[in-house]
Amino acid sequence: MRGIVKSFGPVEVLKSVDMDIVAGEVHALAGENGAGKSTLMKVLQGVHPITSGTIEVAGQPVAIRTTADAERAGIGMVFQEFSLIPSMTVAQNIFLNRELRGKSGLVDDRAAEKAAREIFDGLGVTIDPKARVETLGTAYWQLVEIAKALAKNASVLVMDEPTASLAKHEVENLFELIDKLKSRGIAIVYISHRMDEIRRVADRITVLRDGRVVLAAEVAQLTAAEIIEAIIGRRLASDLVYRDRQLLADAPILLEATNIGSGRVLKSVSLTIRAGEIVGLAGLMGSGRTEFARVVAGMDRPTRGTLSIDGKLVRFSTPLAAQQAGIALIPEDRRDQGLVLDHSVSDNLTLPVLDRVKSGAFLSMTKLRELTNQLVTRFGVKVADPYAPVSRLSGGNQQKVVVAKWINTRPRLLVMDEPTSGVDIGTKTEILDIVREFASEGNAVLFISSELPELLAVADRIIVFREGRSDRALNRDDVASEEQLQLIIQGEAA
């Protein structure tokens, strides 16, 4: 790929990116959220056509404008959000839209199952091609995706965060599989920000920052520190550091959870949060962090265990009951769960506190305006017009609106689920400052994040979740480095 430029309207997301991928190599692609990784891959895959630049496959220039073009060029994708049809079988998914036909011209599922079985045998994995995808675990979904790409004779396989939802031993299996694919001459573009994985599996690395290539080299010649520096940039690295805050060891316990379980995922979680404390929840996807947050916020009722606030047992039957007890949840998916996107910034900010902006029975426009201005200023929301739809704001500013909206309800415990996903690093540090300030006022924060640097920057204590249980409780001082915490999360460190 040479000089790839991709603009969305006036916004240039990719600014002249060059990248060479050699057959039989694993080429890591790293960069922060928003650096352009996903866009670059969508370009390769034909979802977004490029604005300028050239793509060559095996020396031949190719025009990739549709997903079909990408397929013809031999580029296969293994998606982060899995792209299978849950209600169909494994074999039907693998051959979707390219169904094998029998003599009668009708679709021949048996042939597809046989072909699928051959692919799986070649990979050394056992999956029943007749099983419906929804009945399989996520590790198998990924294998099905890989098989789907291989069935199309892909020579380049793009894997987007392939280990995000895998358990430790599954990751090892994946790496073995990657080695096998390599030996067949298949090139793999490996998108990840886990340093240990990149060093374990990749031959070369390209790092993107702000839509440009900032590093392209052999992995073996680089140290982890050099790669991280390239990813986050020297200046910004210093923003994500832990600041010691004055914590009272005898501050009252605000929330205490004992053996909380709910649904299939959450087995047994026990933890306490004191007033003024920021407690981080770490763990792999599916370890029960979000599920625990939902229980605390009254979305799900626990099937086991007890929850108490200020030492008094509580059982929330609705989110409203939790809110009245002083708990606010900033949900995982801000576009879906956190905001009414088509409504204005002002409407979104004031939605939970409409009772406070009334005069008599009616909403007071004056009070609404005052409150909106006050919140926008206090939380530094960068907005041209607070009465324009919130969907026009950047991800980071949208998230500030969500944070402002909930802090303004004056909760005592703020539960934040991945509050900085898709947020640029500048806004990220601002949000962390808001969180710190909020806690310093004697409130408590439960901070869920998969991004360890920010977790380490903000949390006073870290609880590590594993398989639906609260596995370890760590004081901030006990964690020396991101790598160490990563090892604990993966279950490798004592």
Partner 1 sequence: MSSPTTATRPSLISRAVTRFDWRSNVIYIAFVVVFILFAIFLSSDGFLSTNNMLNIVRQTATISIMAVAMTFVIATAEIDLSVGSIAGLASVVTAMATTQWGLVPGILAGLLSGAAIGAINGGLVALLKVPSFLVTLGMLGLAAGLAQWITASAPQPIGNTVYVQIFGGGDFGPIPGLLVWTVVAVAIGWIAMNRTSFGRRVLATGGNPTAAAYTGIRTARIKFTVLLLSGIAAAIAGMLYAGRLESGRFQWGQGDELTVIAAVILGGTSLFGGRGAIIGTLVGSLFMGLINNGLILAGLDVAQQSVVRGAIIIAAVALSRKK
Give contact residues for partner 1 (rule: CB under 8 A).
45, 47, 66-68, 71, 77, 79, 81-88, 92, 96-97, 99, 106-107
| C-beta of 96 vs 164, nearer to partner 1 | 96
Q: Smallest distance from the beta carbon of 135 to partner 1, in angstroms? A: 10
Q: Which is nearer to partner 1, 45 or 372 (CB)?
A: 45
Minimum Å gap between C-beta 429 and partner 1 is: 33
Q: Do the beta carbons of residue 5 and residue 52 sit within 8 Å?
A: yes
Q: How far is the CB of 106 from partner 1 (least distance, A)?
A: 4
Q: What is the 3-state secondary structure (H, E, C) of 427-442?
A: HHHHHHHHHHHHHHCC
* Tokens coding 406: 């909930």
How far apart are CB 102 and partner 1 at their closest, in Å?
9
Least CB distance to partner 1 at residue 76 (A): 11
* C-beta of 145 vs 451, nearer to partner 1: 145
Distance of CA 426 to the CA centre of its chain: 18
Between residues 50 and 414, which has the closer beta carbon with respect to partner 1?
Answer: 50
User: What three-state secondary structure class fits 161?
Assistant: coil
For partner 1, the closer of residues 79 and 242 by Cβ is: 79
* Residue 431: HSE in the Cβ half-sphere, 13 Å Cα cutoff: 27
* Beta carbon nearer to partner 1, 145 or 332: 145
Min dist. Cβ of residue 92 to partner 1 (A): 6
* Least spacing, CB of residue 71 vs partner 1, in Å: 7
Per-residue tokens: 222:
């680089």
Q: Minimal distance in Å, beta carbon 46 to partner 1?
A: 9
User: What would the 3-class secondary structure string for 92-105 be?
Assistant: HHHCCCCCCECCCC
**Long-range contacts for 342-347 (Cβ within 8 Å, ≥24 apart)?**
342/389, 342/391, 343/389, 343/390, 344/386, 344/387, 344/388, 344/389, 344/390, 345/372, 345/376, 345/381, 345/383, 345/385, 345/386, 345/387, 345/388, 345/390, 345/393, 345/401, 346/372, 346/386, 346/387
| Between 71 and 256, CB nearer to partner 1 | 71
**Closer CB to partner 1, residue 6 or residue 148?**
148
Q: Which amino acid is at 145?
A: E
Q: Specify the residue for token string 């994040």.
A: 449
Residue carrying the six token digits 């790669």: 227
Within 8 A by CB and 6+ apart from 329, the residues are: 293, 294, 296, 297, 299, 319, 322, 406, 415, 416, 417
